[in-house]
Structure 1
């Protein structure tokens, strides 16, 4: 696990030290989850059920952020099609090419006006050197999150996914991700699904490995959905007698998907 010590300063002016941890390999993730389970026993039955999750990674830099922006508020298939056209249209695909590209050309590739504006704004900030995506990998996760969400068109979900999957920041916490919220609600026995604001204190015990915890909760959510699918199959109309209607609890299949509604 890549952990780099960097100086910080408290209000007293005295230097303190904190570590920026990265999940660069599957071994890094497994080591992080092992530490989480050891320090928070509530996570052990979750891991026992899911098994070790796989590390999820995306390309870093402008391309990685642009890829995530292309996927905002569209289906997985649509996002893949738009990204395939966009990445194939520019060689190399970098912020300079997008900054110079005509708006109408980007629109013909499938980008909405809002996404074009977002990508061009990011490209301009990079060109003017007011944004450095590499530096974000070494910053505190919350500070890096705030830097990204200050950009036009970059919401909390997009920022956290970029930090976690592209920059491999071990402490990035996708508080607005509905799948993680739902998994935590069920896994921790909460009465209601926590809001993004409520997710912050819930994740405090997992610092500085909240990103590794997110991998575990996503894995748990997929297990829940799979189980719900099996339950739905067993209680389908073809298998349930009309005289004895099913009284099962509301299906998880009706809950929102793994992305937050607001990007």
Structure 2
């Protein structure tokens, strides 16, 4: 059984309190945003492949495809992926590009180019760089992997549109920040940028669901 690397509820509450104390603008969001669980996924090859499957498709479609991938592979491992032909992987619902990415991830892990089991012993920057060295892995994927699969507290996927929109609410801005601006703004939230991201996502979702009034 894989250990749960995500922070505890107490750690999240402490981090939220810290963020509210250091940033008055974020404090207004924090005060009305409900508690949230950490978004978790299994670390290693299966967790990274799942992130790839879920990219650029609806949650319902991604869930169905992932179920077929799990059933088709039996064990979600690099060896299982590399043992199959492209047509077999496509038969599970993977697009041609995602088949290439799945193979690239599997080959990188097996060759040692990006040993997914070793990432947790690297710094955030080192781990991000190792992931982005693999074909098909961009910065957003690397950062969300480190956040969801390894429970890291200080990564921030600034390219995420929902995060950018919630940041616009936070700063009462007319235009949401671009990726570069979002990274710069999030510097103030170190060493809990991942908690800030979860807070902003939860705020965004709560507004969309009508749980809290819009900003």
Distance, in Å, in 2 between the alignment partners of 1:171 and 1:134 is 20
Q: Is this contact kept in 2: 1:53–1:219, CA < 8 A?
A: yes
Q: Is this contact kept in 1: 2:207–2:213, CA < 8 A?
A: no
Correspondence for 1:178: 161
Distance, in Å, in 2 between the alignment partners of 1:172 and 1:144 is 11
Deviation, structure 1 residue 230 = 8.6
Correspondence for 2:19: 36
Structure with higher Rg: it is: 1
For structure 2, which runs of at least 5 residues remain unmatched after alignment?
A: none
Higher normalized contact order (CA 8 Å, seq sep 6+, divided by chain length): 2
For structure 1, which runs of at least 5 residues remain unmatched after alignment?
A: 1-21, 232-251, 253-263
| SS in structure 2 at match of 1:137 | helix
1:31-70: CA deviation from partner (whole Å, max 9, x where unpaired): 2222222222222221111122222111111000001101
| SS in structure 2 at match of 1:28 | helix
Whichever structure has more helix as a proportion of its residues is 2
Distance, in Å, in 1 between the alignment partners of 2:213 and 2:195 is 28
Correspondence for 1:123: 106
1:142-192: CA deviation from partner (whole Å, max 9, x where unpaired): 332232222111122222211110111111101000000000001111231
1:68-127: CA deviation from partner (whole Å, max 9, x where unpaired): 101111111110011000011122221111122111100111101100100101101111
Paired positions, count: 211
Q: TM-score w.r.t. structure 1 length? A: 0.75
Distance, in Å, in 2 between the alignment partners of 1:164 and 1:64 is 11
Distance, in Å, in 2 between the alignment partners of 1:23 and 1:83 is 22
Deviation, structure 1 residue 228 = 9.8
Moved over 6 A (4+): 228-231
Whichever structure has more strand as a proportion of its residues is 1
Please provide the CA RMSD for this pair: 2.1
Distance, in Å, in 2 between the alignment partners of 1:140 and 1:36 is 22
Q: TM-score w.r.t. structure 2 length? A: 0.90
User: Which runs of structure 2 are paired with 1:106-255 in the superposition (5 Å)?
Assistant: 106-227=89-210
Correspondence for 1:104: 87
